[in-house]
Amino acid sequence: MEHKKLTIIGSGPAGYTAAIYAGRANLSPVLYEGMQPGGQLTITTEVENFPGFSEGIDANELMDQMRAQCERFGTEIRSAVCVKTDLSKAPYHLWFDDETEIETDTLIIATGASAKFLGLADEQKYQGQGVSACATCDGFFYRKKVVAVVGGGDTACEEASYLAGLASKVYLIVRKDYLRASKIMQERVLNNPKIEVLFLTNTLGLYGENGVEGAHLIYNKGGEDEREYDLPIDGFFLAIGHRPNSNVFLPWVKVDEIGYIMTEGDSPRTGIPGVYAAGDVADPHYRQAVVAAGSGAKAAIEAEKYLATL
Ligand code: NDP
């Protein structure tokens, strides 16, 4: 059985930053990059809000740089996916889809979250060409343009309000005849003259020659006044929730009702000695690369301190 001092699972900003810190502390970490090497940022285009890049940076380039920085300080990067864990006692056991198995003294969980998509083929087709699941990341590219946001929860209302500050018009596509969002967020949306809420509406597909030029919608499906129509838009934002990638760490870690790993205060400690959670898998609120990177640094510092006590 291979034994590691520190294992990091996940290769987004949280995982890579943890690896940079741990590598520089001589912990020789091993990092498993998982299903989406480079994490969620790799599905966006340009990153303009990560400090240090005054002209912005291509998201893949940013992640490649972080990866190279990890390797420079001695992180071994592996490409397997963690499929089973036993965190009942240290050293902790991890199983991977390449049929390997390791035990580790400390573990940093940085598996991120995945935005939920509707499941339309067109979402894949126009990914990065008008389809986005992050208004804060991509909204800036839609200044003075027309966009649609799908969803009726707090995230959708927040994204619609944010986009209304940039775009010329925002449609909020809501499948029910009411918004699920909190009252205050509802009011903010309903009172914003730039936002038009399309209740009882679902998306059938997207169209466009060079990126998204519009959405095929259906109003009141199955109702007497059911109607299909096309809505011209430049951007299509999904805000129907995120799914934290925490399943494989259950039942060991504590999660909230959505599945986000609960940590102690604003630390990355999970309550299991030597096991930390960093980045979006433990963050239902901010979901930003720079925040994830910061929590990855915290997790590595905690792991280093813990290892010194063994
Ligand atoms: P929610 O689960 O609260 O809302 C998801 C929304 O997407 C719902 O309106 C839901 O519709 C809709 N939806 C889901 N699947 C589909 C689908 N296939 N087609 C069309 N619409 C769909 O997720 P959020 O991300 O909005 O919020 C998650 C949690 O985070 C909540 O607890 C929220 O309060 C919190 N949050 C708080 C914020 C704040 O306080 N500032 C900001 C953002 C989030 P339906 O209602 O019909 O199910």
Residue 177: band (very low, low, confident or very high) from pLDDT cuts 50, 70, 90:
very high
Query: Do residues 103 and 194 both lie within one domain?
Result: no
Query: Do residues 247 and 104 both lie within one domain?
Result: yes
Domain boundary, last residue among 221, 238, 255: 238
- Would the pTM count as exceeding 0.85? no
Domain boundary, last residue among 191, 216, 238: 238
Helices (H) and strands (E) in the chain, counts: 7, 19
Q: Is 137 a residue of the active site?
A: yes
Distance from Cα 165 to the centre of ligand 1, integer Å: 21
Could you tell me the CA-to-CA distances from 240 to 134, 163, 185, 210 in Å, in that order?
Answer: 11, 16, 15, 25
Could you tell me the CA-to-CA distances from 117 to 36, 63, 133, 216 in Å, in that order?
Answer: 16, 23, 8, 16
Q: Is 82 a residue of the active site?
A: no
Per-residue confidence (pLDDT) for residue 287, from 0 to 100? 85
The DSSP call for residue 245 is: S
Query: Do residues 301 and 234 both lie within one domain?
Result: no
Query: Do residues 14 and 110 both lie within one domain?
Result: yes
Which residues, in sequence order, are bridge partners of residue 86?
A: 93
Per-residue confidence (pLDDT) for residue 243, from 0 to 100? 92
Per-residue confidence (pLDDT) for residue 242, from 0 to 100? 86
Q: Please determine, for residue 43, whether its predicted confidence score (pLDDT) is greater than 80.
A: no
Domain boundary, last residue among 215, 238, 261: 238
Q: What average pLDDT does range 153-176 have in this prediction? A: 95
Strands 275-277 and 101-109: parallel
Cβ contacts of residue 280 below 8 Å, gap of 6+?
Answer: 12, 14, 40, 112, 113, 242, 244, 287, 292
Query: Do residues 149 and 198 both lie within one domain?
Result: yes
The parent domain of residue 75 ranges over 2-114+242-308
Beta carbon of 180 within 6 Å of any ligand 1 atom: yes
154-164 and 183-190 helices, crossing angle to 10°: 30
Nearest residue (by CA) to ligand 1, atom 39, is: 154
Residue 296: band (very low, low, confident or very high) from pLDDT cuts 50, 70, 90:
very high
CATH (domain of 21): 3.50.50.60
Distance from Cα 182 to the centre of ligand 1, integer Å: 10
Q: Is 86 a residue of the active site?
A: no
What one-letter code names the amino acid at 112?
Answer: G
Query: Do residues 48 and 20 both lie within one domain?
Result: yes
Beta carbon of 176 within 6 Å of any ligand 1 atom: yes
Query: Do residues 11 and 46 both lie within one domain?
Result: yes
Query: Do residues 75 and 182 both lie within one domain?
Result: no
What is the residue-averaged pLDDT of the chain? 95
Query: Do residues 126 and 221 both lie within one domain?
Result: yes
Per-residue confidence (pLDDT) for residue 128, from 0 to 100? 87
Query: Do residues 79 and 153 both lie within one domain?
Result: no
Q: What total number of domains does the chain contain? A: 2
Beta carbon of 200 within 6 Å of any ligand 1 atom: no
Residue 204: band (very low, low, confident or very high) from pLDDT cuts 50, 70, 90:
very high
Q: What average pLDDT does range 198-216 have in this prediction? A: 97
User: Cα(112)–Cα(114) distance, rounded to whole angstroms?
Assistant: 7
Q: Please determine, for residue 155, whether its predicted confidence score (pLDDT) is greater than 90.
A: no
Cis bond leading into 244, ω under 30°? no
Query: Do residues 136 and 233 both lie within one domain?
Result: yes
Per-residue confidence (pLDDT) for residue 274, from 0 to 100? 98
Per-residue confidence (pLDDT) for residue 185, from 0 to 100? 93
Per-residue pLDDT tens for 225-259? 999 999 999 999 999 988 999 999 999 999 999 99
Distance from Cα 262 to the centre of ligand 1, integer Å: 20
Q: Please determine, for residue 44, whether its predicted confidence score (pLDDT) is greater than 80.
A: no
Which of 154, 173, 236 to mutate to test ligand 1, by most ligand atoms within 8 A of the CB atom? Answer: 154
User: Cα(167)–Cα(160) distance, rounded to whole angstroms?
Assistant: 10
Q: Please determine, for residue 271, whether its predicted confidence score (pLDDT) is greater than 80.
A: yes
Name the token pair of 164: 């209304």
Chain length of the chain: 310
Query: Do residues 246 and 232 both lie within one domain?
Result: no
Per-residue confidence (pLDDT) for residue 51, from 0 to 100? 97
Per-residue pLDDT tens for 78-122? 999 999 999 999 999 999 999 999 999 999 999 999 889 999 999
Catalytic member of 137, 157, 280, 283: 137
Distance from Cα 151 to the centre of ligand 1, integer Å: 6
Q: What average pLDDT does range 277-283 have in this prediction? A: 97
Per-residue confidence (pLDDT) for residue 281, from 0 to 100? 98
